[in-house]
Structure 1
Amino acid sequence: MDKINLLVIVTVISLFISLFLAFFLLTVKTKHKISNVLFAIFLLVTAIDLSHVLFNLVAGGPSNLGMFRSTVAFLQIPVFYLYVLSVCYADFRLKPKHLLHLLPFLIANVVLLPRFYTVDAASKIDFIVNRQNMVELQFNHILVHIQVVVYFTAVFILLRKAKKLYFENNAGTNINAYNWLFQFTSVLTILYLIVILKNAFKFSDYAYISEWIKIAILIAQLFIICWYLYKALNHPDLFRNIDLKLKLVSDLVLEEKNSGQSAIGEKEYKEELLKLQRYMTEEKPFLNPALTIQDVAKKIKVPVRDLSLLINHKLEQHFYDFINAYRIEVAVDMLKDASKSKVTILEILYEVGFNSKSSFNTAFKKHTGNTPTSYRKHL
């Protein structure tokens, strides 16, 4: 099988899966509609970028449509960034300011106006033949590389902040979703770095290496899309969003220092701590797997800001770990109870407020030094 046939087969399969998943995301009924729409757009833009192999087979030569199709790649990473924002924050909404993310795409097309979009066919052919010397294409390649670095850095910073906010304000056990999104972003980052390598060879004396890297990228994209398709179909409610207006505790502490005021005094701190501990032991709210710091604050009638500072700053524990400590304490008592020796580990983890075996095992080992199974065996 020659290189062209391989490219066509892989491209057709990738396009079909991308379009199928985009259709699925746009039509499935879910409360996370914005996230689905944004990722569907990302897939559609990716499909347009992937279509260059088929487009080149049917195109009679360089054209405005063909060049415009190639610049659509500038929309991929900004759309992915907005997708990550929508996944991390429950109250995310598209706003006019988000149109600024179109700037790289618009700039890339504007620079092509004088010597490509507005000239005749012969000049277009000459432009492509001498592409290695065309400053417009060199500029666009530099621009897309800068875009890759800036946006993926922003995505990783966003995920780091979102995960920390989750730990400080939630006690649900869906944190693995953020870990998965981090993995997915890491894979995409590696893929785009390979694209940068491909482009470097494209403008060198080893252009043929660029073609083989292109095949590898197409195959890799196919597997990545299949991976996401598997996740989307098996975990349609993969992510638990947090409030966009929430602040990190470190920012709250900094605000206090700058204002010269403390949210709560030592006396109030002790009173609220006693109130919190009494509520936790008597009401056992931690048995709710979707418990948030807002839920607890409402019940004990303490402002969310004060409660967050109390747990995350004063007690030096994330709310996530604070709640899990109570859950593990109950789990340990159940494992020690001889009358519950027939109760499985899975039943115990659900009963104490976890909904993930991996999260339960991680929390249990963190608090006891052993896995639940090992702990039960050595009783």
Structure 2
Amino acid sequence: MIHELFKFIMIAGIITGFAFITYTNLSPKRKDKSIFYLNFFVLFFTLNNLQITLTDYNFIHLNFFERKLLIPFYALIIPAFYTFVTYYLKAENKVKSFVIISILLFALETIIRIVLGYNYYNQTNNIIVAQYAKYEEIINLSYTILLFLKVIYIFMQQSKYYQEVASYDNMKWLKKFLLYGFGIIFFWVFAVAFNFKEVLSPNIPVYYPLRFSSTLLVFWVAYYGFFKYNLLTERIKLRAEIVKSKINIVLKIKSDKDFLKIEKFILEAKKYLDPLLDAETVSKSTDICYRNITNIISNNTKMNFNDYVNSFRIEEAKIILVNPNYSNYTIEAISLECGFYSKATFYRAFAKHTQTNPTKYKAKNS
């Protein structure tokens, strides 16, 4: 039963992998280096799982040599992910590239297979082939751990490597991957250690937790990596546009000096685009008592603090929504760049201020 369950999971993962690669290659951003390496990350993982599935579940018949020394796609999985991360963070020119090293490692392992195959291809239970397979896996595991630690180091050096990108993406999804990645590496280390003395006939089910967890995690990361990257690139372009844009806000009463002071601060450098902007921040910057901020705004605009700030954000969003250059951009990217915490918050605020939703407004005014 368990054997069949893992078989189903592996096959489903392979189908998902090829479907993901097909989908991303139809995307306008398919030539972007970040998406390029993300696709390779998924491709190498999928090809590795494909040959394991074909072998372990007897879809094809392989001899001892072929089973022991499958094509070493697994040596390229984490290197592809590492390279994706560096391009995602716009840090590819700040950190060491392992692309050439990884290709050379893959080439070397392939050449060794050819040499060993020339001498031992038809031999059953050959100890030399089995020993080599064991130590090759240990080397690839060590290389994977090295690159995994390198990714962690990059995250720990935000100001040095990706300060700009951090203002667009909090990286929570990627940080979760690193956390779960520890678990996957543990499963791999455990499987290698468990089978260290079982050179000729290793226990395959010991690898099931590794294959199951890595299959789920890889496609979770691929999904988030692709869509988060799309969101990131949209936000970068939108921010450049928003900095240049001018909003039109006409308020009925502008006689209160404190109110003018508050308004000037919020409009200056477009402070309202900061989703963390609150009355306390305004109070500290204007020297107006925190408790009076809301009352002053209410008396002059008939709005509370949040609605008042959101009114500026909505005006920014309107400009972007009707701009034909951004017609294909997601509502989520627009909402985040206009200062909202989420798309849901944006929809509620937009409806409150305009009595319609962003999609209908865009359709009507484009």
TM range (shorter): 0.5 to 0.7
Aligned match of 2:178: 185
- 1:329 partnered with 2:281: yes
Aligned match of 1:155: 151
Aligned match of 1:139: 135
Alignment deviations for residues 196-217 of structure 1 (CA, whole Å, 9 cap, x no partner): 2112212346999943332222
- 1:62 partnered with 2:55: no
Is residue 14–residue 221 contact of structure 1 (8 Å, CA) maintained in 2? no
- 1:284 partnered with 2:269: yes
C-alpha separation between the residues in 2 aligned to 1:48 and 1:222?
12
Give the CA deviation at 1:161.
Answer: 2.3
Percent identity (aligned):
12
Alignment deviations for residues 259-283 of structure 1 (CA, whole Å, 9 cap, x no partner): xxxxxxxxxxxxxxxxxxxx98883
Change (3 A) 1:342 1:150: closer
Query: What is the TM-score of this pair, normalised by structure 2?
Result: 0.61
- 1:102 partnered with 2:95: no
Change (3 A) 1:213 1:64: closer
Using CA pairs under 8 Å that are at least 6 residues apart, name the structure with larger relative contact order, 1 or 2: 1
C-alpha separation between the residues in 2 aligned to 1:187 and 1:203?
25
**Paired letter, 2:9:** V
- 1:347 partnered with 2:347: no
Aligned match of 1:292: none
C-alpha separation between the residues in 1 aligned to 2:265 and 2:304?
26
C-alpha separation between the residues in 2 aligned to 1:197 and 1:232?
28
Question: Helix, strand or coil for the counterpart of 1:355?
Answer: coil
C-alpha separation between the residues in 1 aligned to 2:91 and 2:234?
5
**Paired letter, 1:117:** G
Give the CA deviation at 1:9.
Answer: 1.1
Change (3 A) 1:202 1:170: closer
C-alpha separation between the residues in 1 aligned to 2:307 and 2:201?
59
- 1:71 partnered with 2:34: no
**Paired letter, 1:329:** T
Give the CA deviation at 1:154.
Answer: 0.8
Query: What is the TM-score of this pair, normalised by structure 1?
Result: 0.59
Is residue 88–residue 229 contact of structure 2 (8 Å, CA) maintained in 1? no
Q: How many residues align?
A: 282
**Paired letter, 2:46:** A
Aligned match of 1:252: none
C-alpha separation between the residues in 2 aligned to 1:196 and 1:41?
24
Q: Extract unaligned runs of 5+ from structure 2.
A: 237-263, 284-289, 317-337, 346-366
Task: Return the match for 1:200 from 193, 207, 224.
Answer: 193
Alignment deviations for residues 153-201 of structure 1 (CA, whole Å, 9 cap, x no partner): 111112222465544x5784x332x232122233234212311211221
Alignment deviations for residues 79-107 of structure 1 (CA, whole Å, 9 cap, x no partner): 111111110107769x9983223233233
Aligned match of 1:42: 41
Aligned match of 1:175: 169
Aligned match of 1:15: 14
Aligned match of 1:376: none
Structure-to-structure mapping, 1:224-263, within 5 angstroms: 224-228=217-221, 231=224, 235=228, 237-239=230-232
**Paired letter, 1:161:** Q
Question: Helix, strand or coil for the counterpart of 2:157?
Answer: helix
**Paired letter, 1:119:** N
Alignment deviations for residues 45-100 of structure 1 (CA, whole Å, 9 cap, x no partner): 0011112122341332237765664411111111111111110107769x998322
C-alpha separation between the residues in 2 aligned to 1:11 and 1:119?
33
Is residue 349–residue 355 contact of structure 1 (8 Å, CA) maintained in 2? no
Is residue 47–residue 73 contact of structure 2 (8 Å, CA) maintained in 1? yes
C-alpha separation between the residues in 1 aligned to 2:165 and 2:85?
19
- 1:219 partnered with 2:175: no
Structure 1, 83-92 or 21-30: larger mean CA deviation? 83-92
Is residue 34–residue 84 contact of structure 2 (8 Å, CA) maintained in 1? yes
Structure-to-structure mapping, 1:85-124, within 5 angstroms: 85-89=86-90, 98-114=99-115, 116-119=116-119, 121-123=121-123
**Paired letter, 1:77:** I
C-alpha separation between the residues in 1 aligned to 2:136 and 2:104?
12
Question: Helix, strand or coil for the counterpart of 2:119?
Answer: coil
Alignment deviations for residues 296-332 of structure 1 (CA, whole Å, 9 cap, x no partner): xxxxxxxxxxxxxxxxxxxxxxxxxxx9679962497
C-alpha separation between the residues in 2 aligned to 1:212 and 1:97?
32
Give the CA deviation at 1:146.
Answer: 1.5
Q: Report the RMSD for the aligned CA atoms in angstroms.
A: 4.4
Change (3 A) 1:193 1:106: farther
**Paired letter, 2:281:** E
Give the CA deviation at 1:42.
Answer: 0.8
